[in-house]
């Protein structure tokens, strides 16, 4: 099965090919095209991605550093599984980092935080529209965009890099439980409170609302995984 990435090695520099392979392989893992426990050689993975082996090898090294894959001596590459307890720990990190990001955003001067608040509100509006259309996939994309904006705009690049890795590890749980849990109607008003606190420059409220929002998500997703007997995902 080809996953839609063409080999442009004759026209693209090596760094660009590696970046392409990294993005393609990460997305295939995030969306379960390569599910947890999948094991294959770098050549097999490259063939499925429609790419050459060298950039895939470099991409695998990067993804191993992020905890998404593991290289096995003479046995190829395996996509790492995540347990409900791993998800709990991941959410605890997300809660801490996103709360810090919201605090940083709210502490910015009005000339900086108001445009950011407008961006966040736009993502939240997209979520609301998706819910009204009963399009959970579109809701999930808009929700992810909201949370990425929260950290991308906070001004702390190290915080953002740490959070990107954690979010990628938790994405599978998010996708698997998307249709098992109640319709996420509370997400929009919870996000709106975060945006309003950032817009007002209320540091404590921005931090508190973000922490409460992500804590609620943890307390919904982790028991749901246990309820359905999902020991690994």
pLDDT digits (tens, 9 = 90+) for 108-136: 999 999 999 999 999 999 999 999 999 99
**Same-domain status, 192 and 142:** yes
Provide the pLDDT for residue 37.
85
Q: Are residues 136 and 57 in the same domain?
A: no
Close Cβ partners of 224 (under 8 Å, ≥ 6 residues apart): 177, 180, 181
- Spell out the per-residue pLDDT of the chain, length 233, in tens: 545 544 444 444 456 889 999 999 988 888 778 888 899 999 999 999 999 999 999 999 999 988 889 999 888 999 988 788 888 998 999 999 999 999 999 999 999 999 999 999 999 999 999 999 999 999 999 999 999 999 999 999 999 988 887 887 777 777 777 878 888 999 999 999 999 999 999 999 999 999 999 999 999 888 887 776 666 55
Do the Cβ atoms of 27 and 59 come closer than 8 Å?
A: no
Residue 182 inside a domain? The answer is yes
Asked if residue 54 and residue 126 are part of one domain, the reply reads no
Q: Measure the N-to-C terminal CA separation of the chain; round to a whole number of Å.
A: 22
Residue-level pLDDT at 182: 86
Residues 157/102, Cβ–Cβ less than 8 Å: no
Domain that residue 47 falls in: 14-79
**What does pTM read for this prediction?**
0.75
Q: Which of 26, 46, 79 is the last residue of a domain?
A: 79
Helix (H, G, I), strand (E, B) or coil at 40: strand
The DSSP 8-state label assigned to residue 8 in this structure reads -
Looking at the structure of the chain, the number of domains it has is 2
Closest CA to 182 of 212, 215, 211, 224: 224
CA 209 to chain centre: 20
Claim to verify: residue 24 and residue 130 sit in the same structural domain: no
Choosing from 79, 95, 123, the residue where a domain stops is: 79
């Amino acid at each position: 099965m080809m996953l839609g990435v063409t080999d442009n090695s004759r026209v693209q520099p090596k760094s660009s090919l590696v970046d392409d392979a990294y993005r393609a392989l990460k997305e295939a893992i995030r969306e379960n095209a390569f599910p947890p426990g999948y094991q294959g050689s770098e050549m097999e993975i490259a063939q499925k991605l429609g790419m050459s082996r060298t950039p895939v090898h470099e991409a695998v090294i990067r993804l191993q550093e992020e905890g998404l894959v593991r290289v096995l001596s003479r046995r190829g590459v395996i996509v790492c599984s995540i347990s409900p307890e791993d998800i709990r720990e991941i959410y605890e990190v997300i809660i801490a980092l996103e709360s810090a990001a919201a605090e940083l955003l709210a502490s910015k001067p009005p000339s900086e935080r108001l445009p950011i608040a407008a961006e966040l509100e736009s993502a939240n509006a997209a979520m609301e529209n998706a819910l009204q259309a009963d399009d959970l996939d579109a809701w999930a994309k808009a929700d992810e965009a909201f949370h990425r904006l929260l950290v991308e705009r906070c001004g702390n690049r190290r915080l953002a890099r740490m959070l990107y890795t954690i979010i990628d590890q938790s994405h599978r749980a998010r996708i698997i439980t998307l249709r098992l849990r109640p319709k996420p109607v509370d997400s929009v008003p919870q996000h709106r409170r975060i945006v309003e606190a950032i817009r007002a420059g209320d540091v404590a409220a921005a931090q508190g609302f973000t922490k409460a929002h992500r804590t609620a998500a943890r307390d919904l997703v982790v028991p749901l995984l246990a309820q359905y007997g999902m020991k690994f995902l």
